[in-house]
């Protein structure tokens, strides 16, 4: 194994900032949806709006960073290896089998992670943000020609997208515990450094066969 700088400084900043914003948006959003208990309703709406704008600004910076650094390539699907990853997560991981797709500096995400993150970035988050702003600026719908629409379906779509994002976060937290050790993936996202298999090292000798 060798230590490699896998996650760059901005990548770590973006990751943890996004996590905190999503959690704060979830708390304030569900208070608005299901009844405010911590602070006043007006304050909750104000904080949710501020957090939403901060989230959008972070998305813009992250998108710029991905395209200028070429990191967008991390999300290109790998269909030929997807089946192997499904089998690994269903059976192999519980038997201690080796990971079917090696993690490298240039390929940080396995095939299923690529599909999950791609769906999150191209579907869940755009739907969440768009429905959220439509929800908030309901009184200005006439300006963009949406007079005939009602608020209920927009609110439902926004809530479902929020639940999908929260479900992804729970799955993400669980999968961080499946690295070399329970905390290795978490430490890597804090420090940037991760122990990866050294591809230049000679293969380990095969164990002798018993008669």
Q: What residues form DSSP beta bridges with 3?
A: 195
On whether residue 211 sits in a domain, the answer given is: no
Whether the CB-CB separation of 123 and 100 falls below 8 Å is answered with: no
pLDDT, residue 94, reads 86
On whether residue 162 sits in a domain, the answer given is: yes
pLDDT, residue 111, reads 92
Predicted TM-score of the model (pTM): 0.84
pLDDT, residue 204, reads 44
Structure tokens at 29: 């959003």
Contacts of 193 (CB under 8 A, 6+ apart): 3, 4, 5, 6
Rounded to whole angstroms, the Cα distance separating 211 from 209 reads 7
Residues of the chain with pLDDT under 70: 198-211
Domain count for the chain: 1
pLDDT, residue 208, reads 43
The total of other beta-carbon atoms located within 10 Å of residue 127's CB is 17
On whether residue 55 sits in a domain, the answer given is: yes
Question: Please, what sign has the CA dihedral across residues 144, 146, 152, 156?
Answer: negative
By residue count, the chain amounts to: 211
On whether residue 206 sits in a domain, the answer given is: no
CATH number assigned to the domain comprising residue 45: 1.20.950.20
Instruction: Print the domain residue range for 158.
Output: 2-196
On whether residue 208 sits in a domain, the answer given is: no
On whether residue 123 sits in a domain, the answer given is: yes
On whether residue 201 sits in a domain, the answer given is: no
pLDDT, residue 207, reads 42
């Amino acid at each position: 194994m060798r230590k490699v700088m896998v996650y760059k400084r901005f990548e770590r900043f973006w990751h943890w900032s996004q996590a905190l914003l999503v959690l704060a948006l979830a708390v304030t959003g569900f208070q608005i949806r299901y009844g405010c208990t911590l602070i006043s309703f007006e304050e909750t709406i104000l904080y949710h709006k501020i957090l939403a704008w901060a989230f959008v600004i972070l998305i813009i910076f992250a998108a710029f960073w991905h395209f200028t650094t070429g990191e967008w390539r991390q999300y290109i699907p790998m269909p030929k290896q997807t089946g192997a990853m499904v089998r690994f997560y269903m059976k192999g991981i519980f038997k201690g089998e080796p990971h079917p797709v090696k993690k490298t500096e240039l390929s940080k995400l396995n095939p299923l992670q690529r599909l999950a993150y791609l769906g999150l970035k191209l579907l869940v988050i755009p739907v969440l943000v768009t429905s959220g702003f439509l929800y908030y600026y309901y009184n200005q719908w006439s300006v963009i020609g949406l007079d005939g629409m009602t608020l209920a379906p927009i609110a439902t779509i926004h809530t479902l997208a929020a639940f999908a994002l929260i479900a992804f976060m729970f799955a993400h937290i669980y999968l961080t515990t499946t690295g070399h050790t329970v905390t290795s993936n978490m430490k890597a996202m804090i420090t940037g450094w991760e122990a990866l298999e050294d591809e230049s090292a000679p293969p380990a000798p095969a164990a002798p066969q018993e008669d």
